Amino acid sequence: MPPNYSVSEENYIKSIHYLQQVNEAVSTSALAEHLNAKPASITEMLKKLQAKGLLLYNPYKTFRLSKEGNKVALIIIRRHRLWEFFLVDKLQFSWEEVHEVAEELEHVRSKKLIDKLDAFLSYPKFDPHGDPIPDANGKINIQQQLPLSRLPLNKQAVITAVQDQSSELLSFLSSLNIVIGTRLEIKRRLAFDNSLEIKCRNKQAVNISEQVAKAIQVNPL
Amino acid sequence: MPPNYSVSEENYIKSIHYLQQVNEAVSTSALAEHLNAKPASITEMLKKLQAKGLLLYNPYKTFRLSKEGNKVALIIIRRHRLWEFFLVDKLQFSWEEVHEVAEELEHVRSKKLIDKLDAFLSYPKFDPHGDPIPDANGKINIQQQLPLSRLPLNKQAVITAVQDQSSELLSFLSSLNIVIGTRLEIKRRLAFDNSLEIKCRNKQAVNISEQVAKAIQVNPL
DNA sequence: TAAATTTTTTAGGTTTGCCTAAAAATTAAT
DNA sequence: ATTAATTTTTAGGCAAACCTAAAAAATTTA
C-alpha cells in the first residue's frame, strides 16, 4: 500500500508544488513565507522529505519535488479540489468560503473515499475557482480554464462553463447570446467596479459585472 | 466562538462518552483499554480535560464528563454519524466499511460544514447502524433505536425501521407478519449462530438469523 | 576580490502526546 | 485489620513539529 504522510508533510508538499509552478525551484525563505513558519523549521522538514524520496535537495541550494513528490502533490490537490467542488455544488457554500474547509478535508486519507466522491460528483474537470482537478491517476487535463474575470485584455477565449448558483444567470447570459462555446474577448476593464466590456466575434460590445465575470469559466485560445 | 479541541482530545471525549453509556463513571484502565493506550497517558490527558472544564475527576477515582464535556461529545458524535450516513447514502459505501473513514472525517471542525451536510442529507435521524444523530443543538431524539440483535432478552420493543438493502427482506418479514410498529421480544439467543427466537405478542415464536436481526431497528419500551 | 549582506543551516529549547518503570493509593483477601 | 494484589499516578524519556539565536555558506556590493 502507498505510504501515508502527516498533515504537516502534506502541507509542505502542497506548498512546494505551488511555488514550483511560478518558479521551477524553491528557496527555503520563500517556502517559510508561504507556510508562515521560520526558515529553521523548513530546513528540518526538507531533510525529512528528502529522506523519504519526495524532494531533490542539496543543503544551501534551492530544491524541488521529485517525481514521487509531484505524484503525492497531485493526490492532495485532487482531494482539495474535489472537496471544493462538493462544498459549492452540493452543500451550497459560496466559492469564497470553501477554501478553509477544503484545507481540512484534503487531509482525510482514503483513496476509496476520494474516488467515490469523484464519481458522486460526476467526475468534474474543474473546481469552483476554475482550477483543473487531477483524475484518479493524478493526470491533469491540459486544457486550462479560468474565470473570465482573470482573462487578460484582448485575449480570445471560449466559454467552457458557468457557475449557475441561480439559473437566473444562465438565462441572463443566453439573452445576450452568451452560451457555453461562445468565443469572446475583453475590450476594457472599468476600474471603479471591475466590470468588463466584452465583445463576442462580430457583435456589439456588452458590459458585465465583476460577479458575473467570476462565474463564467473560459479557456484562452 | 466555541473553543476547538485537538484530534486526541476529541477521541478521549468520545471514548469517555461511550464508556459512560454502559457504566455511568469510567476508570483509567477501561479508558486505556478502549483507546489502546497506556494508563499513564490517560492520567495525563484527564488532567488536561479537567483543566478545560470538560471532565469531573478526582485523582485515584473514576471520572465522567462535565455538562460541557457531554456537549462536546455530542457534537463529535453528530459529525461522525452524519458522515457515516453520507458515505452510505450518497457515496455507496457499505455500512461495514464506513466507520474508519468517518473516524477521520469527524475531526474536521466546521459547524457550518456539518449543518449544511445535515441539510443536504435531509436531516437524517439515524445513522446506517441505527444510532441516533444529534441535531444541531446536540439534542438527541429521546426515542432510542437499536438493532434487534442488541436487544436484551425478554425486553419488549417495537420495530421502528428495517434496513432494506434488498426489498426482499421486507417481504420476507411481512410474510411473518413482522412490520414496522410490530411489538416483540427475544425469547432465546442461540449461541452457535447468534440466531434469535422472537415472539410477537400472542403469536408463535419464530427464528431469525443474526443478519436479519441486525437489519431490524427497534425501540425498547 | 574582499568585505558586507543575506540566506540557510545547526544547536539547543518548547509543547503535545505518547511511552516505561517506580511509587503511591485503593481495593481485595486472609 | 493487616497483608497482598490491583489500579492509578508520578517521574523521566522520546518523537514530531515548531521556535530563537548563533554559526556557516552563498550572494551581493564596493
pLDDT tens digits along A159-203 = 877 876 566 776 787 778 776 667 888 988 887 888 898 988 777
Residue B161 lies in domain: 146-220
Choose the final residue of a domain: A47, A65, A83: A65
The residue among A25, A47, A65 that closes a domain is A65
Distances from the Cα of B35 to the Cα of A142, B29, B38, B71, B209, angstroms: 47, 10, 9, 20, 32
Chains A, B: CB pairs < 8 Å? 43
Tens-place pLDDT, residues A83-122? 999 998 899 988 778 999 999 999 999 999 999 999 999 9
Residues of A in contact with B8 (CB under 8 A): none
- In sequence order, the 6+-apart residues with CB closer than 8 A to the CB of B102 are B80, B81, B83, B84, B87
User: B157-167 burial by CB neighbour count: b if 16+ within 10 A, else e?
Assistant: bbbbbbbeeee
- Closest approach of chain B CAs to the CA of A162, in angstroms? 22
- A82 lies in some domain: no
Share of chain A above pLDDT 90, in %: 52
Within a domain: A212: yes
Nearest Cβ partner for B104 among A87, A108, A120: A108
Q: Which of A188, A198, A195 is nearest to A209 (CA)?
A: A195
- A15 pLDDT tier (thresholds 50, 70, 90): very high
Closest residue by Cα to the C1' atom of nucleotide C21? B40
Query: Are the Cβ atoms of B93 and A101 closer than 8 angstroms?
Result: no
CA dist list (Å): B27 to B34, B61, B62: 11, 8, 5
Of B48, B65, B82, which residue constitutes the final position of a domain? B65
Interface check A110 vs B, CB under 8 A: yes
pLDDT tier, B65 (very low <50, low <70, confident <90, very high otherwise): very high
Q: How many domains does chain A have?
A: 2
Domain contains A104: no
Instruction: List the B33 CA – D19 C1' distance (angstroms).
Output: 35
- Give pLDDT tens digits for B113-166: 999 999 999 898 878 776 789 999 999 876 777 889 888 888 888 777 777 656
pLDDT tens-digit readout, B91-118: 998 877 899 999 999 999 999 999 999 9
**How sure is the predictor about B180, in pLDDT bands with cuts at 50, 70 and 90?**
low
Q: Which residues of A touch B87 (CB under 8 A)?
A: 113
Phi and psi at residue A189, to the nearest 5°: -120, 120
Does residue A12 sit within a domain? yes
Summarize the confidence of residues A204-211 as an average pLDDT: 87
Cβ of residue A201 closer than 8 Å to a chain B Cβ:
no
Element (H, E) at B171: helix B167-175
Q: Does B96 touch chain A (CB under 8 A)?
A: no
Give the pLDDT band (50/70/90) at residue B15: very high
Does residue B22 sit within a domain?
yes
Q: What is the pLDDT of residue A136?
A: 96
Give the residue, B171 or A44, on which the prediction is more confident.
A44
